[in-house]
Structure 1
Amino acid sequence: MAHDVRQVLLSTDDLDASIKFWTETLGFTLKFRDGTHYAALDGGSVTIALATSLDHPLPGKVVVGVKTDDVDGAAAAVESAGGAIVKAAYDDAHERRAVVYDDQGNGVVFYQPLAR
Protein backbone atom coordinates (compact mmCIF):
# COMPACT_ATOMS: atom_id res chain seq x y z
CA MET A 1 0.00 0.00 0.00
CA ALA A 2 1.64 3.27 -1.13
CA HIS A 3 0.96 6.52 0.73
CA ASP A 4 1.87 10.11 -0.08
CA VAL A 5 1.14 13.06 2.25
CA ARG A 6 -0.39 15.69 -0.02
CA GLN A 7 -2.37 18.08 2.22
CA VAL A 8 -2.72 19.60 5.61
CA LEU A 9 -6.32 20.72 6.16
CA LEU A 10 -6.93 23.65 8.48
CA SER A 11 -10.29 24.86 9.78
CA THR A 12 -11.60 28.36 9.21
CA ASP A 13 -14.84 30.19 9.91
CA ASP A 14 -13.91 32.99 7.47
CA LEU A 15 -12.35 31.78 4.24
CA ASP A 16 -11.62 35.28 2.89
CA ALA A 17 -9.77 36.29 6.05
CA SER A 18 -7.80 33.03 6.10
CA ILE A 19 -6.81 33.36 2.44
CA LYS A 20 -5.70 36.94 3.08
CA PHE A 21 -3.63 35.87 6.11
CA TRP A 22 -1.93 32.96 4.35
CA THR A 23 -1.24 34.85 1.11
CA GLU A 24 -0.49 38.40 2.32
CA THR A 25 1.06 37.70 5.71
CA LEU A 26 2.82 34.41 5.01
CA GLY A 27 3.37 34.73 1.24
CA PHE A 28 1.71 31.51 0.08
CA THR A 29 0.17 31.41 -3.41
CA LEU A 30 -3.52 30.62 -3.84
CA LYS A 31 -3.87 27.59 -6.17
CA PHE A 32 -7.68 27.65 -6.29
CA ARG A 33 -10.76 28.25 -4.21
CA ASP A 34 -14.16 26.60 -4.20
CA GLY A 35 -16.75 29.23 -3.33
CA THR A 36 -16.79 30.32 0.28
CA HIS A 37 -15.90 26.97 1.83
CA TYR A 38 -12.54 25.67 0.52
CA ALA A 39 -9.22 27.01 -0.76
CA ALA A 40 -5.92 25.37 -1.65
CA LEU A 41 -2.59 27.12 -1.19
CA ASP A 42 0.71 26.09 -2.76
CA GLY A 43 2.83 24.74 0.08
CA GLY A 44 5.46 23.20 -2.20
CA SER A 45 5.21 19.43 -1.94
CA VAL A 46 2.16 19.74 0.36
CA THR A 47 -1.04 21.70 -0.20
CA ILE A 48 -2.27 23.88 2.65
CA ALA A 49 -6.05 23.52 2.52
CA LEU A 50 -8.37 25.99 4.24
CA ALA A 51 -11.88 24.68 4.79
CA THR A 52 -15.05 25.73 6.55
CA SER A 53 -17.19 23.14 8.32
CA LEU A 54 -19.01 22.53 5.02
CA ASP A 55 -15.92 20.93 3.45
CA HIS A 56 -13.72 20.03 6.44
CA PRO A 57 -13.83 16.34 7.41
CA LEU A 58 -13.22 17.08 11.13
CA PRO A 59 -14.07 20.76 11.75
CA GLY A 60 -11.84 22.42 14.32
CA LYS A 61 -9.00 19.93 13.90
CA VAL A 62 -5.86 19.87 11.80
CA VAL A 63 -6.15 16.92 9.43
CA VAL A 64 -3.45 15.29 7.29
CA GLY A 65 -4.56 14.33 3.76
CA VAL A 66 -2.86 11.17 2.55
CA LYS A 67 -3.13 10.05 -1.07
CA THR A 68 -3.11 6.26 -1.20
CA ASP A 69 -3.70 3.46 -3.65
CA ASP A 70 -5.95 1.59 -1.18
CA VAL A 71 -8.36 3.76 0.82
CA ASP A 72 -10.29 0.81 2.22
CA GLY A 73 -7.15 -1.05 3.26
CA ALA A 74 -5.60 2.02 4.89
CA ALA A 75 -8.75 2.69 6.93
CA ALA A 76 -8.97 -0.96 7.99
CA ALA A 77 -5.30 -0.95 9.04
CA VAL A 78 -5.87 2.15 11.20
CA GLU A 79 -8.87 0.55 12.89
CA SER A 80 -6.99 -2.73 13.47
CA ALA A 81 -4.14 -0.84 15.13
CA GLY A 82 -6.32 0.99 17.66
CA GLY A 83 -7.48 3.98 15.63
CA ALA A 84 -11.08 4.70 14.68
CA ILE A 85 -13.02 5.12 11.48
CA VAL A 86 -14.95 8.40 11.55
CA LYS A 87 -16.42 8.02 8.07
CA ALA A 88 -16.01 4.71 6.26
CA ALA A 89 -14.67 4.65 2.71
CA TYR A 90 -17.01 6.33 0.23
CA ASP A 91 -16.90 7.87 -3.25
CA ASP A 92 -17.59 11.55 -3.82
CA ALA A 93 -17.58 13.30 -7.19
CA HIS A 94 -13.79 13.17 -7.56
CA GLU A 95 -12.24 10.63 -5.24
CA ARG A 96 -12.64 7.70 -2.87
CA ARG A 97 -12.17 8.83 0.75
CA ALA A 98 -12.12 7.62 4.34
CA VAL A 99 -11.84 9.79 7.45
CA VAL A 100 -10.11 8.27 10.47
CA TYR A 101 -8.49 9.05 13.80
CA ASP A 102 -5.12 7.49 14.46
CA ASP A 103 -4.47 5.73 17.78
CA GLN A 104 -3.80 9.13 19.43
CA GLY A 105 -6.90 10.90 18.08
CA ASN A 106 -5.24 12.76 15.20
CA GLY A 107 -7.34 13.22 12.07
CA VAL A 108 -6.35 11.66 8.76
CA VAL A 109 -8.16 11.59 5.42
CA PHE A 110 -7.10 8.84 3.04
CA TYR A 111 -8.04 9.55 -0.57
CA GLN A 112 -7.59 8.15 -4.06
CA PRO A 113 -8.71 9.93 -7.26
CA LEU A 114 -11.48 8.05 -9.05
CA ALA A 115 -10.71 6.62 -12.48
CA ARG A 116 -12.17 8.75 -15.24
Structure 2
Amino acid sequence: MSEDPGAVPVEIGNVLHPVADVEAAVRFYAGAFGLATKFVDGGRYAALDAGPTTLALAGPGEDVTGGVPAASFKVPEVAAALAAVVARGGSVVRPPETGPHEVRAVARDPWGNTLVLYGPR
Protein backbone atom coordinates (compact mmCIF):
# COMPACT_ATOMS: atom_id res chain seq x y z
CA MET A 1 0.00 0.00 0.00
CA SER A 2 1.48 3.37 -0.96
CA GLU A 3 1.13 6.56 1.01
CA ASP A 4 -0.70 9.54 -0.47
CA PRO A 5 1.99 12.24 -0.88
CA GLY A 6 -0.65 14.93 -0.22
CA ALA A 7 -1.75 13.48 3.12
CA VAL A 8 -0.72 15.31 6.29
CA PRO A 9 0.34 13.01 9.16
CA VAL A 10 -2.00 13.34 12.12
CA GLU A 11 -2.53 11.66 15.46
CA ILE A 12 -5.57 10.39 17.27
CA GLY A 13 -5.83 13.05 19.93
CA ASN A 14 -8.66 11.43 21.84
CA VAL A 15 -11.44 8.91 21.79
CA LEU A 16 -14.72 10.71 22.36
CA HIS A 17 -17.30 9.05 24.60
CA PRO A 18 -20.66 10.80 24.89
CA VAL A 19 -22.03 10.56 28.44
CA ALA A 20 -25.20 11.80 30.12
CA ASP A 21 -23.36 12.93 33.28
CA VAL A 22 -19.73 14.06 33.02
CA GLU A 23 -19.11 14.10 36.79
CA ALA A 24 -20.45 10.55 37.23
CA ALA A 25 -18.46 9.35 34.20
CA VAL A 26 -15.23 10.84 35.61
CA ARG A 27 -15.85 8.95 38.87
CA PHE A 28 -16.60 5.74 36.97
CA TYR A 29 -13.48 5.78 34.77
CA ALA A 30 -11.26 6.88 37.64
CA GLY A 31 -12.62 4.15 39.89
CA ALA A 32 -12.80 1.36 37.31
CA PHE A 33 -9.51 2.02 35.49
CA GLY A 34 -7.56 4.47 37.63
CA LEU A 35 -7.62 7.16 34.92
CA ALA A 36 -6.41 10.55 36.17
CA THR A 37 -8.30 13.70 35.25
CA LYS A 38 -6.43 16.04 32.89
CA PHE A 39 -9.12 18.73 32.97
CA VAL A 40 -12.85 19.24 33.38
CA ASP A 41 -15.00 21.91 31.74
CA GLY A 42 -18.04 21.78 34.02
CA GLY A 43 -20.73 19.36 32.88
CA ARG A 44 -19.70 19.84 29.24
CA TYR A 45 -16.48 17.91 28.90
CA ALA A 46 -13.70 16.07 30.74
CA ALA A 47 -10.33 14.81 29.51
CA LEU A 48 -8.91 11.73 31.23
CA ASP A 49 -5.34 10.45 30.93
CA ALA A 50 -5.51 7.08 29.18
CA GLY A 51 -1.84 6.86 28.25
CA PRO A 52 -0.89 8.18 24.84
CA THR A 53 -4.55 8.84 23.99
CA THR A 54 -7.02 10.93 25.97
CA LEU A 55 -10.44 9.59 26.90
CA ALA A 56 -12.73 12.55 26.19
CA LEU A 57 -16.05 12.48 28.03
CA ALA A 58 -18.56 14.70 26.26
CA GLY A 59 -21.68 15.79 28.10
CA PRO A 60 -24.97 16.36 26.25
CA GLY A 61 -23.99 19.91 25.25
CA GLU A 62 -20.72 18.72 23.70
CA ASP A 63 -21.93 15.50 22.07
CA VAL A 64 -21.21 16.13 18.39
CA THR A 65 -21.51 12.48 17.32
CA GLY A 66 -25.13 11.71 18.15
CA GLY A 67 -24.30 9.41 21.04
CA VAL A 68 -21.70 7.15 19.42
CA PRO A 69 -18.06 6.87 20.48
CA ALA A 70 -15.61 8.17 17.88
CA ALA A 71 -11.89 8.55 17.27
CA SER A 72 -10.94 12.23 17.19
CA PHE A 73 -8.14 13.16 14.80
CA LYS A 74 -6.04 16.20 15.64
CA VAL A 75 -5.30 17.94 12.32
CA PRO A 76 -3.53 21.17 11.38
CA GLU A 77 -6.50 22.51 9.37
CA VAL A 78 -10.00 21.10 9.85
CA ALA A 79 -11.55 22.23 6.54
CA ALA A 80 -8.70 20.72 4.51
CA ALA A 81 -8.85 17.43 6.42
CA LEU A 82 -12.62 17.27 5.94
CA ALA A 83 -12.17 17.86 2.20
CA ALA A 84 -9.66 14.98 2.07
CA VAL A 85 -12.13 12.68 3.84
CA VAL A 86 -14.88 13.56 1.35
CA ALA A 87 -12.51 13.21 -1.65
CA ARG A 88 -11.79 9.64 -0.56
CA GLY A 89 -15.43 8.58 -0.21
CA GLY A 90 -16.33 9.84 3.27
CA SER A 91 -19.21 12.17 4.09
CA VAL A 92 -19.83 15.26 6.20
CA VAL A 93 -22.05 14.93 9.27
CA ARG A 94 -21.32 18.41 10.69
CA PRO A 95 -19.25 21.05 8.87
CA PRO A 96 -16.41 22.86 10.66
CA GLU A 97 -17.59 24.78 13.72
CA THR A 98 -15.57 27.00 16.03
CA GLY A 99 -16.05 25.93 19.64
CA PRO A 100 -14.67 27.30 22.88
CA HIS A 101 -11.42 25.33 22.59
CA GLU A 102 -10.96 24.39 18.91
CA VAL A 103 -12.46 24.08 15.45
CA ARG A 104 -14.08 20.71 14.81
CA ALA A 105 -16.08 18.85 12.23
CA VAL A 106 -17.76 15.45 12.21
CA ALA A 107 -17.55 13.04 9.29
CA ARG A 108 -18.15 9.41 8.42
CA ASP A 109 -15.70 7.16 6.68
CA PRO A 110 -16.92 5.12 3.66
CA TRP A 111 -18.03 2.33 6.05
CA GLY A 112 -20.22 4.59 8.20
CA ASN A 113 -17.86 5.02 11.17
CA THR A 114 -18.04 8.44 12.83
CA LEU A 115 -14.83 10.53 12.92
CA VAL A 116 -14.22 13.83 14.68
CA LEU A 117 -11.66 16.16 13.12
CA TYR A 118 -10.34 18.94 15.33
CA GLY A 119 -7.62 21.54 15.23
CA PRO A 120 -6.57 25.00 16.36
CA ARG A 121 -8.96 27.95 16.29
TM > 0.5 fold call: yes
Q: More displaced, 11-20 or 88-97? A: 88-97
Residue 103 (structure 2) aligns with: 96
> Amino acid of the residue matched to residue 101 of structure 1?
R
Q: SS at the partner of 1:47?
A: strand
CA distance in 2, matches of 1:28, 1:55: 21
> Amino acid of the residue matched to residue 18 of structure 2?
S
Deviation string 1:56-102 (CA, Å, 9 cap, x unpaired) is 21131011111112311211121122211111123333322221111
Residue 33 (structure 1) aligns with: 40
Identity of aligned residues (%): 36
Q: More displaced, 20-29 or 92-101? A: 92-101
CA distance in 1, matches of 2:31, 2:100: 32
| Root-mean-square deviation over aligned CA pairs | 1.4
> Amino acid of the residue matched to residue 19 of structure 2?
T
8 A contact 1:6–1:47 mirrored in 2: yes
Choose which of 112, 115, 120 in structure 2 pairs with 1:113: 120
The answer as to 2:56 corresponding to 1:49 is: yes
Q: Give the alignment's TM-score, normalised by structure 1.
A: 0.89
The answer as to 2:82 corresponding to 1:75 is: yes
8 A contact 1:53–1:59 mirrored in 2: no
Q: Give the alignment's TM-score, normalised by structure 2.
A: 0.85
> Amino acid of the residue matched to residue 20 of structure 2?
D
Q: SS at the partner of 1:41?
A: strand
Structure 2 unmatched runs, 5+: 1-7
Aligned residues: 114
> Amino acid of the residue matched to residue 40 of structure 2?
R
